[in-house]
Amino acid sequence: MGKLIIVPTPIGNLEDITLRAIRHLKECNLIYAEDTRVTRRLLTHLKIDNRIVAFHAHNEHRILDKCIEAIEQNETTVLVSDAGTPGISDPGYLLIRECIKNNIALECLPGPTAIIPALVGSGFPSERFHFEGFLPHKKGRETRILSISDLTCTIIYYESPHRIIKTLNQLLKLLGEDRKACVVREISKIYESFHHGTFSELSAYFTEHKPKGEIVLIIAGKS
């Protein structure tokens, strides 16, 4: 019986990868990756030459059974996403769930994720928080926002630079003018930044300064 090892990979600075992650990437029999090109660049940087197979949102349902067979036939298989921890707003959940159903051993390494450094660096209370992931691109956005409107804990969203202004304006409309927020950009990268303010202040700032890169949006809970 094989084993699946879930390995987080750097979200920016390549020095964020752990020694344990490097060892598993070297020693495993097979690597499932969200984008084989991205993972190959990381392996090349680490001077690792190992077998990589694509496992992503467009093929995960179709190849799931074959993946389980391969994991059972190999001693150790590693699952990675393009950056961060697989399964958190990234492909991987289905494979992990199927391994559990088939009594395949799992090992999940701690490592890079954008949520925690963004939350801690924002200065908002972190003893309780609610993570929402990405809002729907079109339908259902306002419904999702209203569902968190009365939460008193800190709220976390992932957002793209192309939709952040739209999201801030919707939050302003639905949650009110006084709610504080922090837009965190490019965690662990050269241009990492934390911008604090109300929804209207942040919307005005990013309308003038077009945002780039990955964004984590931290919102204060309802007082």
Residue at a domain's end among 49, 74, 108: 108
Give residue-wise pLDDT tens across range 185-208: 999 999 999 999 999 999 999 999
Average pLDDT of the chain, as a whole number? 94
CATH of the domain at 61: 3.40.1010.10
Q: Among the three residues 108, 138, 165, which one is the final residue of a domain in this structure?
A: 108
CA–CA–CA angle 216, 217, 222 (5° rounding): 145
Report the pLDDT value the prediction gives residue 200, as an integer from 0 to 100. 96
The pLDDT tens digits of the residues spanning 56-78 come to 878 878 889 999 999 999 999 99
Q: Token pair of 83, please? A: 């950056």
Q: What is the pTM of this model?
A: 0.90
pLDDT digits (tens, 9 = 90+) for 157-193: 999 999 999 999 999 999 999 899 999 999 999 999 9
pLDDT, tens digit (0-9, with 9 covering 90-100), for 90-146: 778 999 999 999 999 999 999 999 999 999 999 999 999 999 999 998 889 999 999
Q: What is the pLDDT of residue 138?
A: 85
- End residue of a domain, out of 74, 108, 142: 108
Distances from the Cα of 4 to the Cα of 77, 107, 206, angstroms = 5, 6, 42
Same domain flag for 16 and 84: yes
Do 96 and 136 belong to one domain?
no
103 with 128, same domain?
no
The answer on 66 and 128 residing in a single domain is no
Number of folded domains that form the chain: 2
The token duo for 75 is 């001693």
Q: How far is CA 147 from CA 133, 143, 166, 172, 195, in A?
A: 14, 6, 18, 15, 25
Residue 1 has a pLDDT of: 76
Same domain for 74 and 132, yes or no, is no
Domain span holding position 164: 115-219
pLDDT at res. 223: 87
Do 124 and 41 sit in the same domain of this protein?
A: no
